[in-house]
Structure 1
Amino acid sequence: MLVVGGGLAGLAAARDLAAGGADVVVLEARERPGGRVEQIRLDDGRPVQLGGEVVGPFHTAYLGLVEELGLTLEASYVGVPGQTTYDLVEDVVRSDDWPFATAAERADYERVEQLYGALAAAVDPDDPWSHPDAARLDCVSLGSWLRSVDALPSVVRCLETGAIALADGSIERHSLLADLRKSAAACESGFYDYDRWESLQVAEGSAEVAASMAAALGDRIRYGAVVEAVSVSVGGCSVRLRGGESLGAEAVVCALPVGPLRDVAVDGVAPERLASLHAQRHALAAKVVSLFDRSVWTDVGANGLLEGEGVLGSTWPQRDGVLSALVPPQRLGALLSIPDADRVSVVHEELERMYGAAARETQAVHFRLWGTDPFTQGYVTQWWPGDVMRVGPLHGTHDPPFYVCGSDQWVAGYMEGAVRTGRGAAAAALGAR
């Protein structure tokens, strides 16, 4: 079997296929495994995550794989002491929660959250299309819905800033049904709960999950193998690489992100399935990781967590002296318009505004421009109004001997989705044999 893509999803699929007795080859375009999950290690041994980092307690597929690989879980940034920073246009504010000006504004947030939670409770995350009002909920943006229930402007701004922090697009470009589905998957009774989604991390670094699987697969992985075409048939499948080489197999597991998949010529797959895959989209975002000799943000009483309206839409501490940040879709154009040589200066300016002059004293700044990376073409899955119905119930399903997996094929496009769907694709392919 051929697995196209050596990120978390492809590696998880290949690992289970090999364990099930299949002859499997992984084709990875990069010269390393892991896709959007990668890390470096500092001289003092600290791992620095340049890609995906955190998971939550309901991410059972990922947590199970971590245990199987003998890796260690620990608490993430969620419990770090100090105040959260809000980098707003008019001022930088530190608070334990969103800085509503009045008790009435906070009460309105709680009122709206209860309404949202009641809607989410009625959505089946595995089959949102079965909801009797699915089409209507999908065509409405979260922002439009908030205004329809008379949410105060401060509540709308709070949720918009939270969406910017997650770097998955404006609430004006969020399908309400997609957001409800995401909350239902986490069994949330309200808006995004960081404890449920982001409270755990792998102590050795999340990229060790990919590295461990890749090491076990060994020479079953071909690096630098850029796939240009896939032909699918029950009589045998083939994959053509850049340079003209063709490889044959009984089945193909496609673990490519949906952006790069559009660049691959796929033949023999039902048009409606390709239409479903091609209708998915990524949020075009970037990650920035700044290294310090210590956690300088604590000097101002901050915990390193930030939601902001600047180029850096969020920050959070990875480890002592390591600060992650996301550049959301609304700000990526601003970052890309800056000459490469000047980008670090812009980051320094942002960090100084947020955390004081000491935050300019970085040892290094690393950029991962996922939105323009040809083998990624984006960050997490982004569901615009209408996208859930446009993608349809074929989302995440298979058409043997063509199987799909990847973070895109799950509810929210996180690392859990990569592992969950990768292992699911392997189980389906082994069952078909």
Structure 2
Amino acid sequence: MAADGDRQASEVIIVGAGLAGLTAARKLHGEGVDVVVLEAQDRVGGRTYSKALSDGYVIDLGGQWVGPTQDRVIALADELNIERFTQFDTGRKSMSIGGEISTYKHTIPSLPIWSLVDLQWVIMKVDRLAKKVPLDRPFSAKKAREWDAMTVETWKQNNVRTAKARTAFDFAVRAIFAAEPNEVSFLHFLFYVRSGGGFMRLASIPEGAQQERFVGGAQQLSDVMADELGDRVRLEHPVRAIEQDDDGVTVRTDAATFRAARVIVAIPPTLCGRIDYTPELPARRDQLTQRMPMGSVIKCIAAYKRPFWRDAGYSGEMLADTGAIQLGFDDCSHDGSHAALVGFMLGENAREWTARPEDARRQAVLAEFARFFGSEALSPVEYAEKDWLAEPWSRGCYVGFMPPGVHTTIGDALRAPVGRIHWAGTETATQWNGYMDGAIESGERAAGEVAAGL
């Protein structure tokens, strides 16, 4: 990298060393472009975060699963020789409504017949409406303004007739967005459903978004790409300011100043708004960064001596409308040598629990596992969690979403470059928005834009 006075010069600067930023950097570097990646944290990976427990078993406290049609992330994993394995899904699944636990065998919970018919009709209707939303321009759908004027909750109240079908629908919305149905635009919901290939694909394990995991954790994808880029990746370099002029961009961090022809900002929209820009961002883009909140999630993992729930005939999958966690899965290793359960605090529940001590969360999570799978769940060999709301470099997880009124007023600013500034991140993806696959798509797109402008 060349020096320019007290500035470090390259052709392209990438802000953020998650999957989007590293994909963009890798693509450009492979085309002979001089790049530097500036990452605020002391690690790469962004919203993927793999951590080794004391016995060496690597767990995922961030993004974890992949599935069919997520072609980009699967191709990248194959290229990097990162092995995948099938998410355990054998046995009875558990659901708690109003504190009453029931079990079921298939993807859709067991419900009274009219509630089941109601829910299946709703799923078909959602998929039918979602097909009417253009993935590249959701705001151009024929009924975009009507759908963007309401929340998912409003649509649910008007279309889902039975109480238990409404509860099951709420389960899915919280699991997919880590947000409440009354927070998400119905137009954004339809876009997201189509982006992921349909309601059931988003919600399912077999043939769905939760079908497979990575041996050794999902963060490896970023770790290996960063290793390839070497000292072009700068950790603990939070970007504070971006200045652009007719000749290029100047990017300022706490540690150094960098100069380049163009910059790709590959972080969530809400974090984009925390950077100082000269000249200031156009009003529409600036407003967008203020109006795309992150989901709210605390991910909790308990490791055990053995998978006692499997022995009792349970799959480990659980849903609940009350209690500390709303969603859970078996989280054992690929070879069964390490046993674990993972649970999620989601939406408003996560916002309540983030204010409480970690030990209180731990006790509550273990009590929920015990309620579903027996008292042995109270005695893990280790417990780990990640409160994504407390993470300053994401401010939530899984993904930034659009409340009502955003798509149809300023949604066109989401991907549009601002001079020499280009935008990446899974929120900008058209396919598998919100997922690792979407992050990779966004990095490829932004790299293509930049390459065309050099």
TM-score (norm 1): 0.93
Aligned equivalents of 2:58 and 2:439: distance in 1?
22
State the Cα distance separating 1:324 from its structure 2 match: 1.9
Task: Give 3-state SS (helix, strand or coil) of 1:392's partner.
Answer: helix
Alignment of 1:228-243 (within 5 A): 228-242=240-254
Residue range with higher mean Cα deviation, 337-346 or 9-18: 337-346
TM-score (norm 2): 0.89
Residue range with higher mean Cα deviation, 386-395 or 225-234: 386-395
Match of 1:117 in 2: 127
Aligned equivalents of 2:354 and 2:143: distance in 1?
40
Asked whether the 8 Å contact 1:159–1:171 carries over to 2, the reply is no
User: Among residues 410, 415, 424, which one is paired with 1:405 in the alignment?
Assistant: 424
1:426 is aligned to 2:451: no
Aligned equivalents of 1:329 and 1:64: distance in 2?
32
Asked whether the 8 Å contact 1:254–1:402 carries over to 2, the reply is yes
Asked whether the 8 Å contact 2:176–2:202 carries over to 1, the reply is no
User: Among residues 13, 22, 27, which one is paired with 2:33 in the alignment?
Assistant: 22
Match of 1:2 in 2: 13
Residue range with higher mean Cα deviation, 107-116 or 303-312: 107-116
Task: Give 3-state SS (helix, strand or coil) of 2:264's partner.
Answer: strand
Aligned equivalents of 1:394 and 1:258: distance in 2?
11
Report how many residues are paired: 430
State the Cα distance separating 1:429 from its structure 2 match: 0.8
Asked whether the 8 Å contact 2:96–2:102 carries over to 1, the reply is yes
Match of 1:252 in 2: 263
Aligned equivalents of 1:349 and 1:135: distance in 2?
44
Match of 1:388 in 2: 407
State the Cα distance separating 1:242 from its structure 2 match: 2.1
Residue range with higher mean Cα deviation, 396-405 or 124-133: 396-405
Asked whether the 8 Å contact 1:100–1:154 carries over to 2, the reply is no
Aligned equivalents of 1:330 and 1:299: distance in 2?
34
Task: Give 3-state SS (helix, strand or coil) of 2:208's partner.
Answer: helix
Aligned equivalents of 1:395 and 1:64: distance in 2?
26
Alignment of 1:86-101 (within 5 A): 86-97=95-106, 98-101=108-111
1:128 is aligned to 2:128: no
Match of 1:324 in 2: 342
Aligned equivalents of 2:247 and 2:59: distance in 1?
46
State the Cα distance separating 1:5 from its structure 2 match: 0.9
Match of 2:303 in 1: 291
Task: Give 3-state SS (helix, strand or coil) of 1:235's partner.
Answer: coil
State the Cα distance separating 1:27 from its structure 2 match: 0.8
Shift in CA distance, 160/36, structure 1 to aligned 2, threshold 3 Å: same
State percent identity of aligned pairs.
23
Match of 1:37 in 2: 48
Aligned Cα RMSD in Å? 2.1
Aligned equivalents of 1:73 and 1:354: distance in 2?
28
- Unaligned runs of 5+ residues in structure 1 are none
Q: Render the CA deviation track for 1:85-142: whole Å, top value 9, x for unaligned.
A: 1133331222225555521221122222222222122222222112111011111222
Aligned equivalents of 2:313 and 2:69: distance in 1?
31
User: Among residues 223, 226, 239, which one is paired with 2:235 in the alignment?
Assistant: 223
User: Among residues 138, 155, 159, which one is paired with 2:148 in the alignment?
Assistant: 138
- Unaligned runs of 5+ residues in structure 2 are 1-11
User: Among residues 209, 225, 229, which one is paired with 1:197 in the alignment?
Assistant: 209
1:349 is aligned to 2:367: yes
Aligned equivalents of 1:102 and 1:272: distance in 2?
47
State the Cα distance separating 1:191 from its structure 2 match: 7.8
Shift in CA distance, 99/189, structure 1 to aligned 2, threshold 3 Å: closer
Aligned equivalents of 2:143 and 2:78: distance in 1?
40
User: Among residues 353, 357, 377, which one is paired with 2:395 in the alignment?
Assistant: 377
Match of 1:308 in 2: 320
Asked whether the 8 Å contact 2:251–2:259 carries over to 1, the reply is yes
Aligned equivalents of 1:410 and 1:337: distance in 2?
32
Aligned equivalents of 2:361 and 2:127: distance in 1?
40
